Amino acid sequence: MYVNPFIQFIFDLFIIAAILITAYTCNFYYLAYLSSRRNEKNDVISLDSPSVTIQLPIYNEKYVAARLIDTVCAMEYPKDKMKIMVLDDSNDDTVELVRNLVNDYKSQGFQIEHVRRGTRKGYKAGALHHAMKTTDTEFVAIFDADFIPPKWFLNRAISHFVKPNIGLIQCRWGHVNENYSSITQVQALSLDFHFLIEQKAKSNSRLFMNFNGTAGIWRRECIEDAGGWHTATLVEDLDLSYRAQMKGWKCLFLSDIVVDAELPVEMNAAKRQQFRWAKGSIQCAIKLLGNIAIKRKIAIEAKIQAFVQLTRHIVYPLMLVQFLTLPILLASEVNLYIISFIPVITIAAYFAIGPGAYLLVIHKMYDKSWRSKAKVLPSLLIYTAGMSVNNSIAVFDAVFGKNNEFLRTPKYGIIKNTDDWKDKAYNLPFTKTTLLEIFFGVYGLLGIFISIFSNNPIFAPIIGIQTIGFFYISYLSLSHSGFKRNKSSVIRAQTKEERMANNIYKLAMIGIAGIILFGAYSAFAGYQADVYPLDLSRGHLEGIGASSDPQTILGHLKAIKEYLPVEGNAVWIFPTETTNFVRMQADLDVMITSVEKISTVPRDSSAFHTGMLDVKERAEIIQENIMDATPYIYVSGSNVLFSSIWIATIIAIFAILKKKKEKLKAYDVSEDV
């Protein structure tokens, strides 16, 4: 059977992406198996309160800095053995707040220091590297600004440094605001998967596990032996922990020691955090995998798992590849069913590999409370699908070596469900990534229509999950943005400029929503007018191949003539005769004349059989011509022009919002002066 080379290429991309995604998914289930098989039996030893430096890297954290310092100073540990270094690179009110708090605790006898470098060079890694120059204690504990370590943390965690080769103790993250919103719930479940499956499986084994940047304790000798903190990647924690394990140090995860933390409540903050993790992991893969591969002392299984962990974020571009190629393959009538005559097996296989297996993992993780967590799984699937654009950009940023900038994840001190963050400082605006998410959402609507009209409705839910995800992420990115000036320390009425800005923002949201709906309607109408008739024509051509009745064939041919364009060429750049609709119409006229003649001769004559064979061969040629033409209908001149105008309109709205934002910032500066 003839296969269009372009469609064959698209099909190959789809299959390769499917195989790789399945491989990474199955590896997660393998780790789930290891985590359930290997019971944690971590020995403890009574240590005589060894010296510890607690390092607290912060940058513009005025809502949570005091909470962090207070909880650290409240730890039940001898003051003479506990040093505290607040590594403050802030440039806002946080500096004065921290300075006063540090001076107060100093007067109470704490060994606490307010470290100001005067630069943000190297960002968090740079601050930690700078702090190590004056750190002389045996152990180093690290907490990010949004963490709330319990009083007993040091005593319990340090007691697990039983063997001298244990270089790191990583503790589990808790979630102080897990039930604040759907965003925090899905983040909590995702992080629990990481800690209770991945980290638990790798700890107490030959596999490499990673430091999560906070809620952990390092042996200072391990940090120094591994080469110290590097600033070459955005995930200095992952980088250092891998270099330490390559040196022979052991990293240990303790699931029973939980340190609560605040989850991002704003979508743009969550996207920023995900972007940093995705880009940093790929950077570490580029930096470390070569050395891991050639190091003989590292077990083969550890090498494989290191490769999987460091490269796992390529799943997001692969998800986009599948999302983009699936509608094209369905429109081209490529059979994607696992078992062609039982389509339901396909959706069952998707469910088994995805949600079905995840439900079993959740049941094992949470035991009696698994049902409440399972309810969050659909939201997590939608959230993960929607994040694929944001994280794919991060992967490409890392691959192409774009310069690093450590963009912090703002926190607002949100604990209770009644806490509000929208009028606080650090509120992030949406970015250009949101435009891509909207584009993919509209493309997904088109894909759903294609799956239905091509008689492949079984694929509609698969496309639908990602489509909902793109719209969900883009909607929250827009709705969580606003023109709110960062003056939370002063309660005041809105100014005229702010009211105007918020009105412009609301109008922009309405405009974007209208553009999305118009784009979706236009895509549906365009498919119905341009592509669907070609699909119907292919169906009639298949009917010709299956029929021996001249009158039935004649009916098929007349229907095809109505459906096919009477003029033009699907390929508008470098057109070919195989996609010329004028020639196809002429061939149909010849076939109609032939069938009319055939219908007048006896059916058992050689003339009848020869004529029918000729008609069927011509039908196959036209069917191949239509298959060649179909992909180009999607990228016709009018579609490209419309898409360009559609995208340009959204970009224009973005530009207006950005200009207004800059105007408000300038207004704030002038008001301060």
CA-CA distance, 337 to 458, in Å (whole number)?
9
Give the catalytic positions in this structure.
89, 237
CA-CA distance, 593 to 615, in Å (whole number)?
10
Residues 6+ apart with CB under 8 A from 126: 117, 119, 120, 229, 231
Residues 6+ apart with CB under 8 A from 109: 79
Cα torsion through 300, 216, 380, 39, rounded to 10: 60
3-state secondary structure of 388: helix
Q: Which run of H or E residues covers position 150?
A: none
CA-CA distance, 139 to 153, in Å (whole number)?
14
CA-CA distance, 544 to 553, in Å (whole number)?
5
β-strand partners of 54: 84, 141
β-strand partners of 218: 140, 168
Going by C-alpha positions, the residue among 225, 191, 507, 231 that lies closest to residue 376 is 191
CA-CA distance, 469 to 437, in Å (whole number)?
9
Going by C-alpha positions, the residue among 151, 110, 137, 153 that lies closest to residue 51 is 137
Residue 616, number of CB atoms within 10 A of its CB: 18
DSSP secondary-structure letter at 195? I
Going by C-alpha positions, the residue among 336, 318, 316, 568 that lies closest to residue 450 is 336
Q: Which run of H or E residues covers position 416?
A: none
Going by C-alpha positions, the residue among 235, 185, 209 that lies closest to residue 394 is 235
CA-CA distance, 537 to 443, in Å (whole number)?
24
Edge-to-edge order in the sheet of strand 52-58: 111-115, 82-88, 52-58, 139-142, 216-219, 166-175, 250-261, 147-148
Beta strands in 238-285 (DSSP E): 250-261
Decide: residue 566, CB within 10 A, 0-12 exposed, 13-18 middle, 19+ buried.
exposed
CA-CA distance, 487 to 668, in Å (whole number)?
9
**Alpha helix ranges (H) inside 387-495:** 388-399, 433-453, 460-479
